[in-house]
Amino acid sequence: MPVLSPTSSPSSSSLVFTCFFIILFVTINSSNPVAITTKAKRPPRQLSVNYYAKSCPQVEQLVGSITSQQFKETPVSAPATIRLFFHDCFVEVMQIIFNYLSVLTSACMQAHGCDASILIATQPGSKILAEKDAADNRDLRTEGFDTITRAKALVESKCPGIVSCADILAIAARDFIHLAGGPYYVVKKGRWDGKISMASRVPNNLPHANSTVDQLIKLFSSKGLTIQDLVVLSGAHTIGFAHCKNFVDRLYNYKGTKQADPAIDPRLLKALKMSCPQVGGNADIVAPFDVTTPFVFDHAYYANLQSKLGLLASDEGLFLDPRTKPLVQSFGLDKAKFFLAFSAAMEKMGSIGVKRGRRHGEKRKACSIHM
């Protein structure tokens, strides 16, 4: 089964060429638009809290039974699944929208986003790698994938062919946030699963450990997210871990200086160096993002940044930049404010590039296999 499409398997370059041709056609004719008559269509169904109220009313309880069990047995499932949701939502392909000639441009509007494309496995023998096999996703822990696989199997046994993998992932991420001590917020549902999963689209769509605040703001803005959303969603680093390779340069050769990053507390620097030597270390060693309460979803992450206890350069940079520093300080003082803002930002992020209807999406029976 192809990774790209159930009906065809065009290359990335052919898709880009097709879209370029359409853009050129529209540009040439922009001063004299072509009249196209189409039948009136109903607007796409919006995401809704009650989307499965009639078709699968017990979906949240079913997913919740899996997430609660996973949290007890393997607590790392929490940050693993939350990170999986972030990585799924942030990776988009191309989204070209015109106010007219929409019939011609519809083929170019397929974008990733919150569509569970991160869960699709690369097909044996395929030359096109799926998202999960991109270099930036190879450190995603199996516990996150296992949680969704188990939840999907249970939901399918009760409501076959009804609930998308994308909605299950969104619900599971919310569950784990709450189980770890974070806010409980309602999850709007109605996402369809994406038909495209391409590793080549990942690198430019995810934040990196050494991203500057300028780069982060630009990336988040491209997803329709604000500077506050950036700071708020970064607060998910209140739980979880990172491998040494993501911050080792801060310890020994920050920005090519052959010195440690001066924005690291000396005690943290010493501890990290003991775990992460400059060369020859264990590639499996990890360190917590939040060194004070690594297993609790709280607002300690922001206090840590103010004390030079941020693990990644991209995290600590939020306190050093005047555009984001006031937000770090504000959330560090008020957990309730952070929780409220985080809930709103998760709903906003969870709406990025959602698919609706069979024309743009599908309902996979197994989340790793594109139909």
**Six-digit token string for 370:** 């594109």
| Residue 229 assigned ligand-binding role | no
What's the CA gap between 30 and 81, in Å, rounded?
A: 45
| Residue 321 assigned ligand-binding role | no
What's the CA gap between 235 and 297, in Å, rounded?
A: 9
What's the CA gap between 304 and 136, in Å, rounded?
A: 26
| Residue 167 assigned ligand-binding role | no
> How far is CA 183 from each of CA 109, 179, 216, rounded to the nearest angstrom?
34, 9, 25
| Residue 113 assigned ligand-binding role | yes
| Residue 290 assigned ligand-binding role | yes
| Residue 5 assigned ligand-binding role | no
> How far is CA 11 from each of CA 130, 147, 198, rounded to the nearest angstrom?
13, 32, 10
| Residue 27 assigned ligand-binding role | no
Active-site option among 87, 112, 299, 370: 87
Residue (of 328, 340, 41) closest to 185 by Cα position: 340
| Residue 293 assigned ligand-binding role | yes
Write the CB contacts of 211 (distance below 8 Å, at least 6 apart in sequence).
219, 313, 314, 317
Does the annotation mark 299 as catalytic? no
Which letter does DSSP use for residue 355 in this model?
B
| Residue 175 assigned ligand-binding role | no
What's the CA gap between 119 and 43, in Å, rounded?
A: 28
Amino acid at 19: C
| Residue 131 assigned ligand-binding role | yes
Phi, psi of 264 (to 5 degrees): -110, 130
Amino acid at 208: H
Residue (of 151, 185, 152, 191) closest to 68 by Cα position: 151
Give the residue carrying structure tokens 């393997």: 74
Write the CB contacts of 61 (distance below 8 Å, at least 6 apart in sequence).
none
> How far is CA 340 from each of CA 79, 236, 299, rounded to the nearest angstrom?
19, 13, 12
Known binding-site residues for heme b equal 237
Feature table: binding site for Ca(2+): 88, 91, 113, 115, 117, 131, 238, 290, 293, 298
Q: Which residue numbers belong to the known binding site? A: 88, 91, 113, 115, 117, 131, 207, 237-238, 290, 293, 298
Q: Residues annotated as binding site for substrate?
A: 207
Catalytic residue IDs: 87
